[in-house]
Amino acid sequence: MSDSPDHGHAFEDFNPRVREGLTVVSRRGMLKTSLAGLAGLSLPALLQAESQGTARRTGKSVILLWMAGGPSHIDTWDPKPDRPLINRGPFGVTQTKLPGVLISEHLRKQAAMLDKFTLIRSVDCRKSNHEPNRVMQTGNREAGPRVNPRGHLYPAIGSIVAKHAGTNHAAMPPYVAFMKSRSHLAFAGYLGKRYDPFIGDRVADLPRLDLVGKPIGRNQVSDLFRLPAGLDQRRLYDRRTLLKDIDRLRSGLDRSGSMEAMDEYRRQAVELVIGGRARDAFDLSKEPAKTRDRYGKHLWCQQALLARRLVEAGSRFVTLDLSYHTASGTWDTHGDNIPPYGGITKGLGPLLPLFDHLITTLVGDLDERGLLDDVLVIAMGEFGRTPNMGTQGSTDGRNHWPVVMSICLAGGGMRHGQVIGSTERDGGHIRSRPVTPGDLAATIYRHVGVPLDTTYEDPRGRPNNIVIDGRPIAELL
């Protein structure tokens, strides 16, 4: 998503705003717009998969809080308060609800409810990089386009979940992402575009921020769920006319690779556009003012509330790209002399209280609504940061460190209130219980009901395992 007022819209390939489309009351224009959206929503293929018994509706879902850029583990969940300043960093620590467990002083809300979280301090993130981010979001170390020409083809965990677990409600997209930059997400790759995430920014009324997080004074507005004047649901349900219009578009859709043939599932696919469930889930005005105030007005917090609404309505996997910047990501805190990211004090410092409020509000809300056992919340980036500060000529920046990182999890009916793994005294290397990207992927698949021996085929017909070098994290089960 670009913050330019002239950025491209979701339906460029279908030219929905030309005269035959939305500028004149035309069924064809509406179909071009809604079908372009459906190409991302993947509902026809999803419904077909469900009818064939390949999708398992378990009621389970995942919210991934993607901290694009790579948060410093030492300045968040794995502090080293007894080390020299150059290693421990400028922040103090706070005692958590778990005896003897300390985290950053800027995560006080999380500290007070850490019994609902698990910290993993020993994630082995070797080969992970950003621009684009792939390894941790696919669970596959080979999914690094910078070093592997086929890296971008390994499917996102969310895409595999969308294909093999389906959605929890047929009127909802299975995999939704709120995206600041395409380089921050993994996509469906070998699975095909129909399992790419549906980009929620295109339909949600959300504030827009500039590249350093300042509001630009207007919201992102979409008309995807609005029917053009003069076109009502009765006319859409005229199947004879509808099928003719869809047939005229089908060949173009198939050539783009965005959709498979829409046979008996056409009617259900159109239902997603004109039905109320998805539209209402993306509409924050439907939420009580008290809850909206609880989350707050910041873009990321409103996206977190939308994530809760989406999984509650039936989406299976939701990713929030927590970044202001479209390049490497806002959590890429190299140093205060390296704008726009800043270093630990001026860059990471303001992010942590905001993140602290976001994650604790989300987890608390899910818990109060009886959803927490079904929804697995994961917060992570692509790697940790160097043990010592002072990289790239700065005094308090930290460079990339794909040797180890920390992540946190909550919910999913798993065992929480624990710390898994540890690092050496300076936080530079794993000391105990390494956890791989494959372990994380296997844990997610087990949660949503995707068999761990599932495979997918590449264009040559060769099977690929969805779990590479991993097994579900036993301490959570």
Residue 265 in this model has a pLDDT that exceeds 50: no
Report the alpha-carbon distance of residue 57 to residue 108 in Å, rounded.
Answer: 37
SS (H, E, C) the chain: CCCCCCCCCCCHHHCCCCCCCCCCCCHHHHHHHHHHHHHHHCHHHHHHHHHCCCCCCCCCEEEEEECCCCCCCCCCCCCCCCCCHHHHCCCCEEECCCCCCEEECCCHHHHHCHHHEEEEEEECCCCCCCCCCCHHHHCCCCCCCCCCCCHHHCCCHHHHHHHHCCCCCCCCCCEEEECCCHHHCCCCHHHCHHHCCEEHHHCCCEEEECCCCCEEEEEECCCCCCCCCCCCHHHHCCHHHHHHHHHHHHHHHHHHCCCCCCCCCHHHHHHHHHCHHHHHHCCHHHCCHHHHHHHCCCHHHHHHHHHHHHHHHCCCEEEEECCCCCCCCCCCCCCCCCCCCCCHHHHHHHHHHHHHHHHHHHHHHHHHCCCCCCEEEEEECCCEECCCCCHHHCCCCCCEECCCEEEEEEECCCCCCEEECEECCCCCCEEECCECHHHHHHHHHHHHCCCCCCEEECCCCCEEECCCCCCCCHHHC
End-to-end CA distance of the chain: 37
Chain position carrying tokens 């979940």: 161
Neighbours of 202 (CB within 10 A): 18
Distance CA 356, CA 213 (A): 17
pLDDT of residue 205: 85
Alpha-carbon distance of 286 to 284, in angstroms, equals 5
Q: Residue 53 corresponds to which tokens in the numbers above? A: 């018994």
CB 242 within 8 A of CB 37: no
What is the rounded average pLDDT of the residues 367-377?
A: 97
Residue appearing with tokens 């378990």: 58
pLDDT tier at 437 (50, 70, 90 boundaries)?
Answer: very high
Q: According to the model, what pLDDT value does residue 264 have?
A: 36
- Domain boundaries along the sequence of the chain: 10-41+226-279, 57-224+282-476
Q: What are phi and psi of 420, to 5 degrees?
A: -105, 130
Rank 101-105, 232-236, 390-394 by mean pLDDT and report only the highest.
Answer: 101-105
pLDDT of residue 464: 94
Average pLDDT for residues 422-430, to the nearest whole number? 98
Residue 138, token pair as written in the block: 């696919």
Check residue 133 and give its pLDDT: 82
Q: What is the pLDDT of residues 92-112, one digit of tens each?
A: 999 999 999 999 999 999 999
Q: State pLDDT tens for residues 127-155.
A: 999 888 899 999 999 998 788 888 889 99
The fraction of the chain above a pLDDT of 70, given in percent, is 76
Distance CA 156, CA 224 (A): 25
What pLDDT shows up at residue 277? 85
Structure tokens at 14: 């279908």
Rounded to whole angstroms, the Cα distance separating 425 from 91 reads 17
Average pLDDT, the chain: 83
Q: Residue 245's pLDDT is what? A: 55
Can you list the pairs that 17-24 forms with residues at least 24 positions away whose Cβ atoms lie under 8 Å?
Answer: 22/228
What integer pLDDT is reported at residue 54 of this predicted model? 44
Which are the contacts of 204, defined by CB distance < 8 A and separation ≥ 6?
Answer: 178, 220, 222, 282, 284, 303, 306
Please tell me the class of the 57-224+282-476 domain.
alpha beta
Q: CB under 8 Å to 71, separation ≥6 — which residues? A: 331, 348, 381, 384, 385, 405
